[in-house]
Structure 1
Amino acid sequence: MSLPQPVPPSWKDLGKNSADLLGKDYPVAGAHIDIKTKTPNGITFKIVGDRDSKNLITGDIETKYTDFKNGLTLTQTWTTANALKTAVELENYGTNGLKLDVATSLQADKMTKGAVFSATYKQPGIHSRISLDAVKGPTCTVETAFGLRGFVLGSEAAYNVGEGKVLRYGLGTCFNAPSYAATILALNNCKTFTASYYHRVSSDVEAGARATYDNKNPSAVNLEVGTKA
């Protein structure tokens, strides 16, 4: 009898280990700070800040409250761009593995608003998400990843309902093992190609590499290599 398949990573998490290592954990064009604390009653505070090579500083202050008994999570974020973001998530709504969430945003100085409604479904072997941006477009985005014995195949497509056209699409595949992962992505309507590799050498050492090819610049391949100890 075959073993049950784990839930595969989401489309956006394909290649996440190497992306985090080469981005968050290995900032080469500025500085990054990430601080998280948790109160005894379960409220989490998170402060994230970035300074780029031009000394431009951006940051977020996030407050999150989770009601584990009812599967409800409320998150509010205030950014240095004077934007207030609110997200409400409801886990296992109606059926096991289904999550519903609503994310809203308000830019106080410009009075611009945003609202995105999403549904995520996770089961062994499948991880799917559909979202509707009610303000921009409106735009419907579908992301799906299928997994089997460490192999994952994923895709994404965004459709502008108002204009009746496809905005973007992409494909990706990866292989995940306990100590390493290899990923190939075709993004931006399959015009940008990325191949990445991540290896946890030991409990203290990580290494990663990523190569990117863009049709806009066919004569060059961008190569990134990093390690963390």
Structure 2
Amino acid sequence: MCNTPTYCDLGKAAKDVFNKGYGFGMVKIDLKTKSCSGVMEFSTSGHAYTDTGKASGNLETKYKVCNYGLTFTQKWNTDNTLGTEISWENKLAEGLKLTLDTIFVPNTGKKSGKLKASYKRDCFSVGLGFELEA
């Protein structure tokens, strides 16, 4: 059977050649770990530019509830942006994934969100998305 990639994944392998492992003019660190059961995952990354001295980083936690097909992901970065993503996969229909992705900036009170749906089968892939801002 063929696996049809989504449009955004078509050039991913070519972009990764330059984006992963090649930090010209910067110092970069990535750390990842997960629990023994695979239910909790933690990842953190940071980079500092050698010419300007500017540094940034982020922290991500992921919690999976396998019985219900739910995944909760929370992200926080040094720009003080909080993100939460809730995904529900393969429970309503095989190959269907529903995602709610929200962003909150405490300093400004800005809130935004995206509601996404994707359906993948052997030889086709369909995606739909809505953006919300407050």
Do the two structures share a fold, i.e. TM-score over 0.5? yes
| 53-62 or 105-114: bigger deviation | 53-62
Q: Where do residues 35-114 of structure 1 align in structure 2 (5 Å cutoff)?
A: 35-41=31-37, 42-52=39-49, 53-114=51-112
Count the aligned residue pairs.
132
Pairwise CA distance, 1:18: 2.0
Counterpart residue type for residue 18 of structure 2: L
The residue aligned with 1:26 is: 22
Asked which structure has the greater CA Rg, the reply is 1
Query: Which structure has greater strand proportion?
Result: 1
Contact kept? 1:77, 1:85, Cα under 8 Å: yes
Pairwise CA distance, 1:127: 2.2
* CA distances 1:21-47 after superposition (whole Å, capped 9, x unpaired): 211221223122211011235210000
Contact kept? 1:24, 1:32, Cα under 8 Å: no
* Structure 1: 4+ residue segments shifted above 4 A: none
Counterpart residue type for residue 15 of structure 1: G
Contact kept? 1:5, 1:124, Cα under 8 Å: yes
- Quick check: 1:131 aligned with 2:129? yes
Query: Counterparts of 2:23 and 2:10 in 1: how far apart (Å)?
Result: 20
TM-score (norm 2): 0.90
Percentage of matched positions with identical amino acids: 31
| 126-135 or 74-83: bigger deviation | 126-135
Counterpart residue type for residue 68 of structure 2: N
Q: CA 1:25–1:18 in 2, change beyond 3 Å: closer, same or farther?
A: farther
Query: Counterparts of 1:58 and 1:107 in 2: how far apart (Å)?
Result: 16
* CA distances 1:169-227 after superposition (whole Å, capped 9, x unpaired): xxxxxxxxxxxxxxxxxxxxxxxxxxxxxxxxxxxxxxxxxxxxxxxxxxxxxxxxxxx
Pairwise CA distance, 1:94: 1.7
Counterpart residue type for residue 61 of structure 2: T
Pairwise CA distance, 1:119: 0.2
Query: Which structure has greater helix proportion?
Result: 2
Counterpart residue type for residue 8 of structure 2: K
Contact kept? 2:42, 2:61, Cα under 8 Å: yes
Counterpart residue type for residue 19 of structure 1: K
Q: What are structure 2's unaligned runs of at least 5 residues?
A: none
Aligned-residue CA RMSD (Å): 1.6
Pairwise CA distance, 1:88: 0.2
